[in-house]
Every structure is written in C-alpha cells, then in structure tokens.
Amino acid sequence: MQVAACGVCRTDLHVVDGELPNPKLPIVPGHEIVGRIDKVADGTDALSIGQRVGVPWLGQTCGQCRYCRNGSENLCDRPLFTGYTRDGGYATHMVADARYVFALPQDGDDIATAPLLCAGLIGWRSLQIAGDGQKIGLYGFGAAAHIIAQVACWQGREVFAFTRKGDDAAQAFARTLGARWSGSSEDAPPEPLDCAIIYAPVGSLVPLALRAVRKGGRVVCAGIHMTDIPSFPYDILWHEREIKSVANLTRQDGEEFFKIVPKARIRTETVSYPLTRANEALADLRNGRLRGAAVLVP
Ligand SMILES: [Zn+2]
Ligand SMILES: [Zn+2]
C-alpha cells in the first residue's frame, strides 16, 4: 500500500532506543499508518485497490494460542507488531496483512486520522480497562490523552489532566479539550478519582496515581515501557485499589473505536513533518516539545 501519513508514537522512541526486546533489525518504525491500497495479494477479497485503510500496531497473530482463541489476541504468544517486529510506516510504501488492516472512510484527513491508529486505539482500550468511573485522571497529556479526554468528556465523565510540573501549555490545552481540572502530576486532584490512566512512561507516577484514586479505584498503565516503579507503602494500595497494565489492541477494539470517532467528534491536534525529518519529529517527542501528535508525511 501507499503510505499517506504515519503518526509518531512514543513506542517508536522505545524501538529506536533499543528498549524493547527482540526487534526485527533493521526495522522501519511506524504503526499509526493511513494509506491507500495499491496492490492486493491473490485471494484477498476484503480490500480493493484505491481503498483508504489504517494499519495499527497489531500486525499479525497466530490464531491458535490460548489468547487468540479466547478473544485476547492482544496477548498472542506469537504476534507480529508493525514497526517493531515487521516493517512499518516511516516509508512511502509498505506491506500489511490484510486481515489486520482497518477499512477507513474513503474521504478524510489522512494526517488527522493517523494518531487514531495507536494513540486513539490504545487509549480506547485503556479507557475501557479503567472501567466506567465518573472521575478519571489522565497522567501525561500527549497524543493518547488528548484523544481520550475527548472520548471521556463525550461519555459524560469528568477529566482531570496531570502533566509535568510547570507545563502550563499542556494544562491549558487539556482544559480546552474539556478537562475539568488540570495540574501537575505531583499535585493531588481537588477530589478523589474513580480511576486513572498513566500514559507517560514514568514509573514514579504509579504511587502518585494510587494516592489520587479513591477506595476501590483502579490505576491503568497504558504504555509498553515504563521506568521502574519506586517502592511505596502498602497503605496506598490497600482498600481494594488496583494496578493494571494494558497491552496492545485487538481488532475488536478497532471496530468499536472507529465507530465512536465520528460520534464523539474527535479532533486530533497534529504537527506534520516531511518523512525526511523523521528524526526531528522523534526528538521533539522525546523533549516534550509537541502539543498533540507528530505525523510524518512522505
Ligand atoms: Zn496467538
Ligand atoms: Zn503506538
């Protein structure tokens, strides 16, 4: 397929930095891809030439392990991941397994759509795993949180956005997207939260989030990689508080999420870079210089 736009995700930084085990090397990163089909394999009926599609992180699963068989293909024992263990979308063209590709509306803004393929999808999965609590905290207000804040507000929840200390721009941005409160991740929220999702790869946020949730509250870690979680007093986990991680996505998550996108009227904030400036986009993400999501355009 021909790549029209590819989002830059924090996971790409972990791939480039060698922080994830057993990558395919050399590797073409990128797993938030919007493009158009320019060739289909013999016997592929589901997709047609010219069709607009999205390619996510989940590149392939085995279909046979216990996880694939019980509806948890996100945990497959023998998966392939786009831009990590098979080549991804930092490219003009790429090959995808048609069974794991999402059909997208034929018309649409390719750049604005790209971040939905991971920040949106993983964000959606983490939101579901957080449960249906009314007061939800989002730690790390980057690409995923700016999408999920909109979904949560559309669902009628109250969003509390936590950013790096002193990041006034991100805190103001969160409020423009409907957050009821925004502040530093070191601050306590004005009232106890029902649940919290941590999007930043920072283990020290786990005890902070545990302190912010009420009894029975849940803290969801949505990243693929996190710095070590510091030890903390049992007291802040006590009273049936929970910590849970979110891994990957299922195709079912995608089917659900792409139905919600138009209903929730999700608008993504993007900064586009030509493909030749991919390293600059990665550096800007690393240094927290982005508002919203970086997207490469070949
Ligand atoms: Zn499997
Ligand atoms: Zn990603």
Residue 208 CA to residue 85 CA, distance in Å, equals 33
pTM above 0.85, yes or no: yes
For residue 32, the cross-strand partners are none
Q: What pLDDT does residue 84 have?
A: 98
What amino acid is encoded at 151 in this protein? V
Q: What is the SS3 assignment for 165?
A: coil
What element of type H or E holds 95?
none
Q: How confident is the model at residue 292 (pLDDT cuts 50, 70, 90)?
A: confident
Residues with CB under 5 A from ligand 1 (ion): 61-62, 65, 68, 76
Would you say residue 2 has pLDDT above 90? yes
Q: Are 269 and 293 in contact (CB under 8 A)?
A: yes
For 6-54, what is each residue's pLDDT tens digit?
999 999 999 999 999 999 999 999 999 999 999 999 988 889 999 999 9
DSSP character string of 9-42: -HHHHHHHTT-SSS--SS------EEEE-----T
Per-residue model confidence (pLDDT) at position 197 = 98
pLDDT band at 207 (very low <50, low <70, confident <90, very high): very high
The model's confidence at residue 288, banded by pLDDT at 50, 70 and 90, is confident
pLDDT digits (tens, 9 = 90+) for 253-278: 999 999 999 999 999 999 999 999 99
CA of 119 to the centre of ligand 1 (A): 23
Q: What is the CA radius of gyration of the chain?
A: 19
pLDDT at 46: 87
Question: What is the tens place of the pLDDT at every residue in 63-83?
Answer: 999 999 999 999 999 999 999
Distance CA 179, CA 92 (A): 37
CA of 113 to the centre of ligand 2 (A): 14
Provide, rounded to the nearest whole percent, the portion of the chain with pLDDT above 90: 96
Cα gap 159→127, rounded to integer Å: 12
Please name which of 198, 234, 238 lies closest in space to residue 215, comparing C-alpha atoms.
Answer: 238
Dihedral Cα 25, 31, 34, 40, nearest 10 deg: 50
pLDDT band (50, 70, 90) for residue 289? confident
CA of 99 to the centre of ligand 1 (A): 14
pLDDT score recorded for residue 220: 98
User: Ligand 2 centroid vs 22 CA: distance in angstroms?
Assistant: 17
The CA 64 to ligand 1 mean position distance, Å, reads 5
Q: How many CB atoms lie within 10 A of CB 207?
A: 18
C-alpha 250 to ligand 1 mean position (Å): 11
Q: How confident is the model at residue 291 (pLDDT cuts 50, 70, 90)?
A: confident
Residue found under tokens 């207000």? 141
CA of 58 to the centre of ligand 2 (A): 10
Q: How much of the chain exceeds pLDDT 70, in percent?
A: 100
- Residue 220: what are its φ and ψ, rounded to 5°? -110, 125
Tell me what the pLDDT averaged over the chain comes to.
Answer: 96
pLDDT at 240 exceeding the cut of 90 = yes
Averaged pLDDT, 117-132: 97
Please name the residues in contact with 184: beta carbons below 8 A apart, sequence gap of 6 or more: 162, 163, 164, 165, 166, 167
pLDDT category, 113, cuts 50, 70, 90?
Answer: very high
Give pLDDT, residue 58. 97
How far lies 117's CA from each of 51, 111, 277, in Å? 17, 11, 21
Taking the CA of 117 as reference, the closest ligand is 2
Element (H, E) at 61: none
pLDDT digits (tens, 9 = 90+) for 164-185: 999 999 999 999 999 999 999 9
pLDDT at 55: 98
Output the CA–CA distances (angstroms, integers) from residue 26 to 18, 87, 172, 270, 277, in the order listed.
Answer: 12, 9, 40, 28, 19
